[in-house]
Structure 1
Amino acid sequence: MGAALTRDGRPVRVLVVDDEPPLAELLSMALRYEGWEARSVGDGAGAVRAVREWRADAVVLDVMLPDTDGLTVLRRLRGEIPGVPVLFLTARDAVEDRIAGLTAGGDDYVTKPFSLEEVVARLRGLLRRAGAGQVRDVSLLTVGDLVLDEESHEVWRADEEIRLTATEFELLRFLMRNQRRVLSKAQILDRVWSYDFGGQANIVELYISYLRRKIDVGRQPMIHTRRGAGYVLKPGAPGGR
């Protein structure tokens, strides 16, 4: 499915509120992979400030936060943006939290542990219900003169069509959805191959080399190596690989 855009053509903004940094970063990464913008904060006060300054289109909100509870945060968020959709994160056995959250005005909830795909699907549903056309899906990803169509699986650079294998396509899509972000080999393995190659991260290097031959050869390089960190795709970036 393509990226979600608001009526004015910008990517949907989702605020993740959770005091577990690894979980918050994982959720944010999954949302960015969908072509959305994502920010994360670790407490209720930060959530209210972020919503006020950033004007999020939706919020993923943990019920348990270090400075206050999610229900109090919900009321404050709605004071800033009355109609903002809120998806609660709750513990699996906390039935009372789920009931309290929905009663207090939360729009939906998922229980921990959850799948990233479920969170994205729930958010799409909330945005559709909240906006009646507020969000539209598009299938084209564009970075500089590089264009990828997520529906037809076609790729062009400077209007020249580029033929990719299925794995090369998924790798390029991940890089383009996270343009200007350095992605580690572990992140790429997890998202593109969906499992660990038993430490064989050289599979990433191999497919990066395949992509470079098709995307960068004879043109200004877009795929760059950040030694010790990973890879980054940038439009028209100068310098070596």
Structure 2
Amino acid sequence: MSNTGTKIFYVEDEPFLGKIVKESLESRYFEVKMVTDGRFALKEFMQFKPDICVLDVMLPNKDGYTIGNEIRQQNSAMPIIFLTAKTQTEDVLKGFQSGGNDYIRKPFSMEELIVRINNLLSLANKKTISQGMSVQLGEYEFFPQKYELIFQENIKKLSYREAELLKIFTENRNFTISRKEVLMKIWGDDSFFNSRNLDVYITKLREYLKNDPSIKLTTLKGVGYHFSVGID
């Protein structure tokens, strides 16, 4: 699997569980900042500037719900997942009222956590693009609505189809997308002619993004593509 390089802010006071989760996420190339005491969470969050937060609810000095509210005040779009051993419906509702986007009950599997993290990140990417905002892709900044890809001071004007293709990959970052789905979204059919055109556009995008080797646009033969941004 390609590297993601996604920054995860993880607040957990159980040292054994925290160590397992942190190491498991790092083994999949996530960058993880772990905090064990609720009173330090907001300060560490501001310094770390994560892509997503995973917050335990029961914490010393300040609980996860309070931290979630504080984070939401600083960044209204930040994806937040709450972890809790509680099972009452009112606790789940409180989590969502505190700014949570998702809620996982303990004990949980790492695969479930990773799927939920990737799902929230994908939704966040799509929301950002639909609002016409810029998207950070490693050292590049992509403006989907303006058809612009910026690297340092250099602005690359994209064609409509180039921008649409990069938009599709950005929305599906860290997920595999089939070749047919890409063809149908951009051309409306998967004819041989359009398939050859797609190959040309893929080559162009790789050329445009070559200045940041951590950006991977991988062709999965017989399947489709996997786009990721992370460590080299």
> Normalising by the residue count of structure 1, what TM-score does the alignment of the two structures yield?
0.52
3-state DSSP of counterpart to 1:87: strand
> What percentage of aligned pairs have identical amino acids?
35
Equivalent pairs counted in the alignment come to 140
Alignment check: 8 A CA contact 1:51 1:80 kept: no
Partner of 1:37: 31
TM-score, with normalisation over the residues of structure 2?
0.54
Three-state SS of the structure 1 residue aligned to 2:50 is coil
**Residues 85-133 of structure 1, C-alpha deviations (whole Å, 9 max, x = no match):** 0000011534322121013320001100000110010000011111223
Question: Secondary structure of 1:137's partner?
Answer: coil
Give the match for residue 50 of structure 1: 44
Q: Tell me, what secondary structure is at the counterpart of 2:8? A: strand
Matched, 1:137 2:131: no
Q: Are the counterparts in 1 of residues 33 and 48 from structure 2 also a CA contact under 8 Å? A: no
8 Å CA contact 2:66, 2:98 repeated in 1:
no
What's the CA shift for 1:39?
A: 1.3
CA apart distance, 1:74:
0.6
1:193 equivalent in structure 2: none
Distance in 2, Cα, partners of 1:25 & 1:93: 24
Q: Quick check: which one's helix share is greater?
A: 2
Distance in 2 separating the partners of 1:130 and 1:136: 11
Q: Deviations over 1:15-66 (max 9, x none)?
A: 1101111111111111112211011001222221111001011011011111
CA distance in 1, matches of 2:25, 2:44: 17
Task: Tell me what 1:63 maps to.
Answer: 57
Q: Which amino acid aligns with 1:137?
A: N
How well do the aligned residues superpose, as a CA RMSD in angstroms? 2.8
Q: Does the Cα contact within 8 Å between 1:55 and 1:81 map onto a contact in 2? A: no
Query: Structure 2: any 5+ residue segments left out of the alignment?
Result: 127-169, 177-217, 222-232
Aligned partners of 2:7, 2:104: CA distance in 1, in Å?
Answer: 19
Q: 1:49 to 1:89 in 2, by over 3 A?
A: same
Work out the CA distance in 2 between the residues paired with 1:134 and 1:37. Answer: 20
Structure 1 segments, 4+ long, off by >6 Å, are none
Aligned to 2:118: 124
Query: Aligned equivalents of 1:138 and 1:72: distance in 2?
Result: 32
Deviation of 1:135 (Å): 6.9
Provide the residue aligned with 1:93 in structure 2: 87
- Cα pair 1:15 1:51 within 8 Å, conserved: yes
Q: Which amino acid aligns with 2:17?
A: L
What runs of 5+ residues in structure 1 fail to find an aligned partner?
Answer: 5-10, 140-148, 153-241
Tell me the SS of whatever aligns to 2:174.
Answer: strand
Aligned amino acid, residue 121 of structure 2: L
